[in-house]
Amino acid sequence: MLKSESIAKLAEALAKAQGAFVNPPRNRNVVVKMKAGGSYSFAYATLDSIMEMVRKPLAENGLALIHSLGLYETGPVCIASLLHSSGEWVSTPIPVIVGPGADAQQWGSALTYARRYGVSILLGIASDEDDDGNASCGNAATFGERNTNGNGKTHADDIDAKHVIDAANEAIESANTWDDLIQVNDRLNASDAFSDGVKADLLNRLHSTMFLKAKTQIEAETDPAKLPRLHANTIIKDYLPTDLQSQAREIYKTQREKLQAPPAAA
């Protein structure tokens, strides 16, 4: 995630705006026929439905959303940015994934998909996978209006829906910094989109990712004076389960002994 030097005022404004957010109604059904055969269906909230829900709370707190296109070495991206009236900002690039020889409709599909993910990530909204993203993968999707029970939910709430689990796994994979990992952890714990078992599996995967990051940092450190700081990392203590904390301590102990050992004789 990219950001201005300070985001203190933006963070305060976003916290107030989030207090007024509700999960947008999943107002469309999609039946996807896969290229490999077979089909599956899911429900989602359209991008305009999400924007309708967030626009007023954002504006009332001096916040605005914009999207722009960029080209990274890895390919095209849609850059979602959240701006504050103070001049502070945060942004996140979302890959625009299309197949070879994609036509204009498939590009539009992928852009809509990326914009939805960008909005959801920046604002912390528990949204569903965008429908049109299927076209960018070459799958054929049939869309229809969805009947709800009046509060934006159907009688089947899509708990553990495949596309929601896929989105959570993608968030874990794309989290590069400790701040990103903590945000994913907090969102998973607060989410009601998963059963207890599935949420536990996702958190286990996230904690394994955190552990590997800590392990890499400790083993890569060559300055003995900096090791205690890594060992005292509150993220390790506050977020990792007991067994992984113990493993992290052993890795720290091994690296400390390695750095304190006298150099081998020539």
Q: Do 144 and 181 belong together in one domain?
A: no
Note whether 41 and 29 are within 8 A (CB): yes
Q: Is residue 266 a part of any domain in this protein?
A: no
For residue 36, what is the domain's CATH number? Answer: 3.30.390
**What is d(CA 187, CA 238) in angstroms, rounded to the nearest whole number?**
16
Q: Is residue 265 situated within a structural domain?
A: no
Domain count, the chain: 2
Domain stop point among 124, 156, 188:
156
CA distance 117 to 129: 8
Whether 123 and 177 share a structural domain: no
pLDDT one-digit tens code per residue, 159-189: 566 777 777 888 888 877 878 888 888 888 8
| pTM of the predicted model over 0.85 | no
At 220, phi and psi to the nearest 5?
A: -85, -15
Q: Does an H or E element contain 3, and which?
A: strand 2-3
Q: Is 33 helix (H, G, I), strand (E, B) or coil?
A: strand
Residues in the chain: 266
pLDDT recorded at residue 213: 84
User: DSSP character for 85?
Assistant: T
pLDDT for residue 197 is more than 90: no
The average pLDDT across 209-232 equals: 78
Query: In the prediction, which pLDDT does 8 show?
Result: 94
Q: How far apart are CA 159 and CA 165, in angstroms?
A: 10
Task: Tell which wins on pLDDT, 252 or 227.
Answer: 252
pLDDT digits (tens, 9 = 90+) for 17-71: 999 987 777 766 666 565 555 665 666 777 888 888 899 999 999 999 999 988 8
Range of the domain at 177: 159-260
Asked if the structure places residue 138 within a domain, the reply is yes
In a domain, 32, yes or no: yes
Looking at residue 231, what is its pLDDT?
Answer: 56
Do 136 and 225 sit in the same domain of this protein? no
Confidence tier at 137 by pLDDT (50, 70, 90): low
Q: Give the bridge partners for 41, in sequence order.
A: 31
Longest dimension (CA), the chain: 78
Which is higher by pLDDT, 220 or 235? 220
Does residue 2 sit in the same domain as residue 126? yes
Average pLDDT of the residues of the chain: 77
DSSP H helix total and E strand total for the chain: 10, 7
